[in-house]
A and B are shown apart, each in its own frame.
Chain A
Amino acid sequence: MHELGLCRNILAIVSEHAGDRPVRRVRVAVGPLACVERPALAFCWGVVTEGTGLAAAELAFVEAEGDTFLIKDYELEEAA
């Protein structure tokens, strides 16, 4: 239900950090008790990033424990 808002947070944090560097992939760590639906988050990611600098960035998941909900890291595109 709140995955869209969570996606906006992820986008805001990564956009702010990456600046104008192109991002290929963002990895989030989601624990089983995090109260976060991965399919919903993945769906919302496409909606939220559309028209932004992260439109081409893939959202990937990393296993985690407990109620972990972190942006693990992000990967930049190779330089052209």
Chain B
Amino acid sequence: MCGTCGCSDPKNDVALIDPDSGERTVLRQGGILGQGGDHAPGHAHAHGHAHDHAHDHGHAHDHADGHHHHRHDGDDRPHAHGPNGEVISLETAVLAKNDGIAARNRGWFEGRGVLALNLLSSPGAGKTTLLERTIRELGDRVRIDVIEGDQMTANDAERVRAAGARAVQINTGAGCHLEADMVAGAVARLDPAPGTILMIENVGNLVCPAMFDLGEHLKIAVISTTEGEDKPLKYPHIFRACGLVLINKIDLSPHVGFDDAACRANIREIAPEAEIIALSARTGEGFEAWTGWLTARSA
């Protein structure tokens, strides 16, 4: 699908980097803005990137006699039949392609017995540090694989790999979030074993990742005490989508005047159902609640 952000730069490919081998695989060539605009009618699909789905809904038209004949090959989308000037109902989700791939990912995870978690936060909230400590504390009991999403560099994949997990890095180029097909490509490379916890560290961004289903079991937001208590109110879409919110860097609370009660109230206002765990990925304070949450779900 072509749902890459408006900030895309045509020079940037979306790439998968395996830090074990150093191998770099291009998932999408040439970015989106460079080649994506060629959507002339009769030119069914001219995106500048590979599609891994078959266009099996052939739809031929014949206007020769002024009437409108359809031929449907497996096209079950609702639409009215009528003369020219008609309104044709589509009722198609704009992100249908992403959501279809996400559903496939979800089915694969469930069939394989893999717990996939989508970690969302602003840059610097401590997602990678959280993963490093999680891997070190749980690594001998639970297998943890990691998909790292960043615009550039394989730094984070190398960090979690050094902590003891298998990891691949997705570089989104200029894209500001992960999409389901990128995760599908990374999962094909990682091939996580049954019982694995698959941590998907999304691109640090509190806006766009909320929209894109990756097929994960749950979205988890990480907020840090240095960011202020009102992040959930400022970026409600992300927090509304999450089933668990981690408040990180509580070791710094006294130094930055963080109001824990206000932060929890703000989270509850936006996401009443979400669980909340406060911890410090640096000192390990409160960490057993998080590792307990994880092991209870991965069993």
Q: A residues engaging B (CB < 8 A)?
A: 1-6, 8-22, 28, 33, 35, 40, 44, 48-54, 69-79
Contacts and interface: CB of A to CB of B under 8 A. Distances in A.
B87 interface: yes
Interface residues of B, number: 51
B213 to A, nearest CB: 11
Contacts of A1: 5-7, 176, 207-208
Contacts of B240: 33
Contacts of A33: 237, 240
A28 B94 contact: yes
5 contacts: A11-B39, A52-B37, A70-B90, A73-B88, A76-B87
Contact of B39 (A12, A20, A69, A70): A12
Nearest to B77: A17
A74 B7 contact: no
A13 B37 CA distance: 13
A21 B41 contact: yes
A35 B207 CA distance: 8
Contact of B61 (A2, A10, A20): A20
B118 to A, nearest CB: 15
Contacts, number: 149
Given A1-B208, A12-B47, A77-B84, A6 B94 contact: yes
Contact of A6 (B3, B37, B55): B3
B55 to A, nearest CB: 8
A8 B32 contact: yes
B73 interface: no
Given A12-B1, A53-B40, A76-B87, 11 more contacts: A1-B207, A8-B37, A9-B1, A15-B44, A17-B88, A21-B84, A22-B41, A48-B37, A52-B39, A54-B39, A72-B89
B91 interface: yes
Nearest to B63: A21
A71 B90 contact: yes
B1 to A, nearest CB: 6
B262 to A, nearest CB: 24
A21 B40 CA distance: 11
Interface string B19-41: 00000000000001100111111
A15 B5 contact: no
Contacts of B74: none
Contacts of B38: 52
A50 B40 CA distance: 10
Contact of B6 (A4, A9, A78): A4
